[in-house]
Amino acid sequence: MITPLKALRKNRFKTALIFISMSVSIAAIFLISAISGGVVSMYSAMLKTDGDIIVTQKGIADTFFSDINNSLSAEIRKIAGVKKSSALILGAAPVDKLPIVAIYGVSDNRYDSYTLASGRYPKADEVMLGSKIFETLKQPKTIVLSKKEFAVSGVFKSRIGFEDGGVVMNLSDAGTLFHKSASIFLVSLKDLGNSEEIVGKINALNTDIEAKTTESFIDSYNQFKIIQTSSDVIGAMAFLMGILGIVSMMSMVVNDRKGEFGIMRSIGLSSRVIIFKLLSETLIIALVAYGVALGASFGILELIEHADKFQGYINGEISAVLMINVFIVSVTMALVGTFLPALYASRIDPMSLIQRGGA
């Protein structure tokens, strides 16, 4: 009996087509999941910096639309158990030749969250640039924001792509630029065990604000849900396309090998053996395709991360959990896509298979 490896070598063209179909589908699932996860991870990491509690305007759909009175930050700092409360304005605007850049207006007590690579923290009418955008703009001395020129006071380095490709200025200048007092407060605590109690005290300060623990905020943030849902839908489409491709190719393989399966049935081999044989062949392809897709995904994500065009805002993460999940999806896709053609081949009358195979 022909072994799975010999069968794959014997049908090299169709094996190659199945392999390419699987590799593309698996790589698509990897990239979609990794990029969406990277976006959520970067934004979450930024919020978690000095942020055990997040305070926003009540009832807003996105932090970019939030506008809260900065004077409340001083009141929050007076609450027992609060270690630090910093204000942050989140915005975006064109910067020189770049169509859109993240802008962060920060209170003075948040500057120490940014690691300076050179220069100093900005004063009035000054900005500091993330190292990524600094290099993209060819190390500028000044930049133009909303028709106003700002001097570049320094450069900072951040592992968070949104920040490393962004512009940081003082809270007052950002308030003038975006016509708001503050977007969010990031509140750090002396003891996380008191977080729920302090959340209640902050919410009692003003009916127009809403405080949540950082974990609770991230879990309920609408934009994260939209990103995750979109990723799941597109990933599911890639999965289904992969199954359809496998079914199509395996149907062709089964049709070409009917004579072989007829002989196997005529010598007493059961339908289960034929099904197992075809599943084994496809599983081998799936395992190789998984390895190739994983390597290709790492390479593509590395290129995207360092591409000037994306300014560091796209930074995919392939975690161990993601690798395990995609591996399970890959094996499932291969087995499901192969099972129906294999079942069809195993149930046709042996004499009919031999006659058709010889036709």
84: which 2 tokens? 């630090």
> Is the separation of the CB atoms in 164 and 132 below 8 Å?
yes
The reported pLDDT for the residue numbered 354 is 53
The reported pLDDT for the residue numbered 175 is 92
Averaged over successive runs of 10 residues, the pLDDT of the chain (359 residues) comes to 67 81 86 78 67 86 84 90 90 84 89 90 93 89 89 89 86 92 90 87 90 81 69 78 77 72 72 81 88 91 72 72 88 83 71 53
The predicted model scores a pTM of: 0.68
The reported pLDDT for the residue numbered 320 is 87
The domains of the chain are located at 4-43+224-358, 59-207
CA distance 47 to 68: 17
CA distance 112 to 119: 14
The reported pLDDT for the residue numbered 272 is 82
